[in-house]
């Protein structure tokens, strides 16, 4: 059987030719340029969202959202017992020795009151009860640091004397003294909450007015020396005599 040569169809050839011809060089250039601009703009967008400033902003936004989400949970957790403390085994010695230290502290300071009462000096004041609780129960807390304790006790007591001298007795002196005491502890990095009550005690306690600036040393700072000595004994007993 003889083979017949196949010729290209004229219509198909014209169609292909017309299609190729329809894409003139200017149009092809326009399409290529538009395609290049789209790719460039897309790449530019990717580079923009990956810049350090954009990433930092996204991290800040995510941090704020996460913090807002955790705020409710953390506020509710503060009403529950500490899980770490609850999981720790509690020994009888952990209760006896701090309580014995507090008893010894108030007994010694009370005896000193009897000795110093003719001079108008009282050593067993209410803030020292809070100091005893911090020193004997949480000796590793920031408020139990000697720097924080003595600097805050002396500074806040002196602020109370100044506030009373300037404003006299009354709500204004108490407000200014408390605000200045908190600001002082923050600036000095000496967080010791019991010291904030010393200026209020001086302003409202007429029996301390005659001490003037000696109030910065008596009873707060002087009594803390005794409490620190007792704290060393209590910590030694807790570490070496357990039951």
Which tens digit of pLDDT belongs to each residue from 126-157? 899 999 999 999 999 999 999 999 999 999 99
Residue 175 domain-assigned? yes
Residue 61: pLDDT above 70? no
Instruction: Work out the mean pLDDT of the chain and round it to a whole number.
Output: 78
Residue 44 domain-assigned? no
Confidence of residue 177 (pLDDT cuts 50, 70, 90): very high
Check residues 100 and 12 and name the one with the higher pLDDT.
100
Residue 184 domain-assigned? yes
Residue 157 domain-assigned? yes
22/14 Cα distance (integer angstroms): 12
Tokens of 70: 């955790």
Supply the pLDDT for residue 48: 54
Residue 105 domain-assigned? yes
101/227 Cα distance (integer angstroms): 9
Angle at 31 between CA 29 and CA 33, to 5 degrees: 65
1/22 Cα distance (integer angstroms): 42
Tokens of 68: 């807002």
Cβ atoms within 10 Å of 139's Cβ, excluding its own = 15
Supply the pLDDT for residue 85: 67
Residue 127 domain-assigned? yes
Angle at 142 between CA 138 and CA 148, to 5 degrees: 120
Residue 23 domain-assigned? no
| Residues spanned by the domain of 204 | 91-240
Closest to 125 measured CA to CA, from 233, 215, 213, 230: 215
Number of separate domains in the chain: 1
34/48 Cα distance (integer angstroms): 21
Residue 75 domain-assigned? no
CB 101 within 8 A of CB 238: no
Residue 123, C-beta contacts closer than 8 angstroms, at least 6 positions apart: 109, 110, 112, 113, 116, 218, 219, 222, 223
Cβ atoms within 10 Å of 193's Cβ, excluding its own = 15
Supply the pLDDT for residue 107: 95
Check residues 44 and 146 and name the one with the higher pLDDT.
146
């Amino acid at each position: 059987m003889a083979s017949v040569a196949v010729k290209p169809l004229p219509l198909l050839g014209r169609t292909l030719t017309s299609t190729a011809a329809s894409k003139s060089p200017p149009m092809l250039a326009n399409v290529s340029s538009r395609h290049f601009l789209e790719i460039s703009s897309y790449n530019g967008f990717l580079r923009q969202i990956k810049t350090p400033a954009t990433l930092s902003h996204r991290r800040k936004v995510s941090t704020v959202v996460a913090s807002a989400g955790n705020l409710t949970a953390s506020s509710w957790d503060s009403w529950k017992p500490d899980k770490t403390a609850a999981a720790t085994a509690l020994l009888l010695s952990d209760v006896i020795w701090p309580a014995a230290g507090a008893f010894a502290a108030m007994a010694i300071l009370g005896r000193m009151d009897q000795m110093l009462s003719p001079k108008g000096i009282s050593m067993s004041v209410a803030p020292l009860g809070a100091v005893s609780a911090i020193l004997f129960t949480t000796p590793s807390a920031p408020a139990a640091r000697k720097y924080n304790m003595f600097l805050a006790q002396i500074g806040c007591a002196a602020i109370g004397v100044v506030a009373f001298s300037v404003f006299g007795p009354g709500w204004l002196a108490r407000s200014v003294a408390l605000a200045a005491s908190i600001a002082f502890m923050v600036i000095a990095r000496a967080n010791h909450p019991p010291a904030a009550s010393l200026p209020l005690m001086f302003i409202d306690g007429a029996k301390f007015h005659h001490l003037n600036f000696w109030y910065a040393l008596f009873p707060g700072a002087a009594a803390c020396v005794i409490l620190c000595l007792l704290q060393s004994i209590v910590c030694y007993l807790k570490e070496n005599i357990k039951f």
